Amino acid sequence: MSELETAMGMLIDVFDRYSGTEGNKDTLTKGELKTLMEKEFPNFVKNGKNNDQVEKLFKNLDNNGDSQVDFNEFIILVAALTSACHKYCHEKGSK
Give the model confidence (pLDDT) of 13-34 as tens digits: 999 999 989 889 999 998 898 8
Predicted structure pTM score? 0.81
Within 13 Å of residue 22, how many CA atoms lie on the same side as its CB? 14
Residue 5 β-bridge partners: none
2 vs 44, which has greater pLDDT? Answer: 2
- Structural domains of the chain, with CATH: 3-93 (1.10.238.10)
Interatomic CA distance for residues 26 and 68, integer angstroms: 9
